[in-house]
Amino acid sequence: MNLNQLKDEMVQVIKSYHLKGWSPATSTNYSFKDEDGQIWVSRSGIDKSQMTTEDFMSVNTDGEASPEYTGVKPSAETVIHCVIYELFPDVRFILHSHGVFPVMLSSILTNELIVQGYEIQKGFEGVDTHEVKCIIPILQNNQEMSYFKQELAYKKTQLNHGCFIIKRHGTYAWGSSLAEAKRHLETLDYICQCEFLTNN
């Protein structure tokens, strides 16, 4: 798939997620790696209902704008994307959501979400039955990107289901394909809804 097709597919997903209420007030960010391994990330401050293919910019592995995008600001959370790509070299797509249910659920949990007994947990990488226990890490929120760099590296082995939650902030999910990244994000959001509604 060429670069324009990748951007097009991402824009469609981003707009569909906006319609779910997952990206209010210009929040959330998205990225992908093109066929040459170049990282493309959404620009800062874009209203996701108006997102276009022009709203992606290329960055280096530290999250700094490529020379052709000098002066354009990448999303404030670009470093989180770069860290995920560094930790998991097979990942090509990263999606972020500010869905209400993960935000609400994370405010009543501490360091992890324990998932067991749901059919939909088979949407997570490596899970083929509702009977296993899946643990999804919950990180604290922080405006310092160095915190996420450290914390994600430290928790790498617990990131085996292709996603995590940031407390009172949202979710990140990834995959080697866009379909896989979507599956992880949507599985996590659905489980967060079920868990929150069961307990509240």
Residue written as token pair 């860290």? 83
Q: By CB under 5 A, which span of 145-153, 155-163, 167-175, 178-186 interacts with Zn ion?
A: 167-175
Site string for Zn ion, 118-157 (x = CB under 5 A): ----------------------------------------
Q: By CB under 5 A, which span of 64-72, 121-129, 169-177, 183-191 interacts with Zn ion?
A: 169-177
Give least dist CB 163 to Zn ion, A. Answer: 14
Q: By CB under 5 A, which span of 38-46, 87-95, 126-134, 163-171 interacts with Zn ion?
A: 163-171
Q: How far apart are CA 70 and CA 117, in angstroms?
A: 49
* Residue nearest to Zn ion as judged by C-beta position: 170
Closest CA relative to residue 78, chosen from 51, 45, 100, 103: 45
Give least dist CB 35 to Zn ion, A. Answer: 27
Give least dist CB 145 to Zn ion, A. Answer: 12
- Determine phi and psi for 48, rounding to 5 degrees: -70, -15
Give least dist CB 76 to Zn ion, A. Answer: 8
Q: By CB under 5 A, which span of 85-93, 156-164, 166-174, 191-199 interacts with Zn ion?
A: 166-174
Give least dist CB 143 to Zn ion, A. Answer: 11
Return the DSSP state at 189.
H
Compute how many other C-beta atoms are within 10 angstroms of the C-beta atom of residue 57.
20
Of 162 and 170, which has the nearer Cβ to Zn ion? 170
Compute how many other C-beta atoms are within 10 angstroms of the C-beta atom of residue 141.
14
Give least dist CB 132 to Zn ion, A. Answer: 29
Q: How far apart are CA 96 and CA 42, in angstroms?
A: 11
Of 29 and 121, which has the nearer Cβ to Zn ion? 29
Q: How many residues bind Zn ion (CB under 5 A)?
A: 1
> Which residues form the interface with Zn ion (CB under 5 A)?
170
